[in-house]
Amino acid sequence: MTRNVIFIDDERSIRHSLSQTLELEDYEVNAFASAKDALTELDSLFDGVIITDINMPGIDGIEFLRRALVIDDEFQVIVLTGHGDISTAVEAMRLGAYDFLEKPFSTEHLLDVVKRAADKRQLILENRELRDELAAQSSPGPRILGNAPAIKQLRRVLTHLKTGSSAIHFQGEPGTGRSLSARFFHDHSSNGSSPFVKISCQSAGSQSLESELFEKNAGGNNLLNASSGGTLFLADIDKLSPQSQSALLQQLKAYKMEDPKGCRILSSSESDLKRQTDKGNFNADLFDFLDFVPVHLPPLRERKEDILTLYNNFTRTVASRYGLVVPHIEPDLEAQLLSHRWPGNVRELRNVAERHVLLGETFDRERAIAMENNPAELTLADRVSRFEYSVLRDALTRHGGRLKEVQEELGLARKTLYDKMRKHCLEKEDFKIQ
């Protein structure tokens, strides 16, 4: 693991020699000639140790310490004092410095103090991360489960981004949890109590997209107005036609002029938007306008250590929803779950877990997994069921979970629609656009 150090001293020779000493011990040193320059690089995410000289022109070491601790009062700052300058060292410790080194000091003493400060900073950040994760995972709403390194990093990145205003783009294969991640991020962001408006770009042509975004309802609002101060989530933005991409760009520009407060924009795609833009398949002006932070969602085959955790969670959730018994997972089923490649990712795993709960003792794991991956092996009843599920899901998506409109389109009685949704584990809340 890289250990970072920020070192500030106005004397070039001292910067060079001390930096070299630390780099020989595998520290990554960022040296500055002035405290002013160092302050511009600091934020609360800095994970290393800060070493600063006291006597410097402009902002001296004591003033730098005060300003740095405003950014994060748990920075580990080591101050370098002149020989016999005890009063300054005492003042620095009173303000919150980790320790002081009186010149001249030995290399061994320097390295010992820096190591202890680095260990303390790492412990502080780990504890913060654990507190944030505990709060996020124990609160109502969607959760991002798993302990794979990529998932831990995903939660860490989203936690770091939650207080900003930058646009975020979730990219990953189908079934990796792009919509869930967007909702999770919104719920735990600084505007989590504000509206979350989701627009499915996959089924939106330029006219329907314009209608969805700008057409006002009976209350005089449209979806862009409704997302003001909150979050606008453009799901599957890579599925927009070139005409729809241009229409979206113009609408977002007009909205930004109309409402400077605006909203935070999240988007998702299956493909790499940067690559698609470079190939000319995605509007470069829209790509530049969004100016998003990319967040990659790993496929399930790259986080196999999470498969059993997720499967157990899905079975418990479905069993609780329908008042059924949570099935026992036999060792041979565990082995099959772990060996399967899961081309449909977490969504496929969830579907198999749901069948396991609903079918109980009649559950055939091999057939359940085959149903997800090899339509040629399905019976007629299975194919009809899968087609029915697809039609229902598509209608619910297009109508934003509004059941009356789904009823009218599909010609179903309300009870019949409810029964079919229950059969396929479909919840209207999952399809609401706000």
Residue-wise pLDDT tens digits, 39-66: 998 988 899 999 999 989 999 999 999 9
> Does the pLDDT of residue 241 top 70, yes or no?
yes
Listed residues 297, 315, 344: the one ending a domain = 297
More confident residue, 392 or 374: 392
pLDDT in tens, 122-158: 999 888 877 766 665 555 567 888 889 899 889 888 8
The answer to whether the CB of 92 falls within 8 A of the CB of 119 is no
The mean pLDDT value of the chain amounts to 84
> What pLDDT, in 10s, does the model give residues 27-36?
999 999 999 9
Assigned domain for 280 exists: yes
Task: List, for residues 199-224, the tens digit of each pLDDT value.
Answer: 888 765 545 566 666 565 555 566 77
Mean pLDDT, rounded, for 107-123:
94
Of the pLDDT bands very low, low, confident and very high (cuts 50, 70, 90), residue 429 is: confident
Residue 166, pLDDT score: 86
The rounded distance, in Å, linking the Cα atoms of 184 and 174 is 17
State whether 305 and 256 are in the same domain.
no
List the CATH number of the domain containing 408. Answer: 1.10.8.60
- CATH number for the domain that contains residue 115: 3.40.50.2300
Domain-embedded: residue 229: yes
- 281 in a domain, yes or no? yes
Domain limits at 426?
A: 301-431
User: Looking at 128, 154, 178, which one is the last position of a domain?
Assistant: 128
Regarding whether 240 and 210 lie in a shared domain, the answer is yes
Assess whether pLDDT exceeds 70 at residue 377.
no
Tell me the pLDDT band of 331, cut-offs 50, 70 and 90.
confident
Residue 306 domain-assigned? Answer: yes
User: Residue 274 — pLDDT band, cuts 50, 70, 90?
Assistant: very high
pLDDT of residue 266: 93
- What local confidence, expressed as pLDDT, does residue 141 receive? 60
Contact 237, 268 (CB under 8 A): yes
Q: E strand or H helix at 364, and its extent? A: none
- Considering the domain architecture, whether residues 223 and 207 belong to the same structural domain is answered as yes
State the Cα–Cα distance between residues 67 and 63, nearest whole angstrom.
6
Tell me, yes or no, whether 286 and 329 share the same domain.
no
Tokens of 141: 């709403």
Q: Do 426 and 313 lie in a common domain?
A: yes
3-state secondary structure of 76: strand
Quick check: is 236 in a domain?
A: yes
Residues 288 and 329 in one domain: no
Kindly state whether residue 21 falls inside one of the protein's structural domains: yes
CA dihedral 139, 141, 147, 152 (to 10 degrees): -80
- Quote the number of domains for the chain: 3
Q: Averaging pLDDT over each range in 109-118, 182-191, 344-353, 406-415, which range is the top one?
A: 109-118
Average pLDDT of the residues in 369-382? 60
Query: What does the alpha-carbon distance between residue 65 and residue 76 come to, in Å, rounded to a whole number?
Result: 10
What is the model's pLDDT at position 86?
Answer: 82
- 16 and 42: one domain? yes
Is residue 365's pLDDT more than 70? no
Provide the pLDDT for residue 142. Answer: 74
pLDDT of residue 378: 56
Q: Are residues 293 and 176 in the same domain?
A: yes
Domain end: 105, 128, 151, which one? 128
Q: Residue 79: what pLDDT?
A: 94
pLDDT value at residue 221: 63
pLDDT grade for 421, boundaries at 50, 70 and 90: confident
pTM over 0.75: no
Alpha-carbon span 432 to 399, nearest angstrom: 8
Shared-domain flag, residues 337 and 377: yes
My answer on whether 425 and 375 are in the same domain is: yes
Check: CB of residue 344 under 8 Å from CB of residue 372: yes
271 and 207 belong to one structural domain: yes
- At 244, is the pLDDT very low, low, confident or very high (cuts 50, 70, 90)? confident
Tell me, what's the pLDDT at 329?
A: 86
Return d(Cα 247, Cα 362) in angstroms, integer.
Answer: 51
As a whole-number percent, the residues of the chain with pLDDT over 90 amount to: 38
pLDDT by residue (tens digit) across 163-192? 778 899 999 999 999 999 999 899 888 787
Residues 305 and 417 in one domain: yes
238 sits in which H/E element = none
Q: Is residue 133 part of a domain?
A: no
Of residues 233 and 126, more confidence is placed in 233
Residue 334 lies in a domain: yes
CATH number of the domain where residue 231 is located: 3.40.50.300
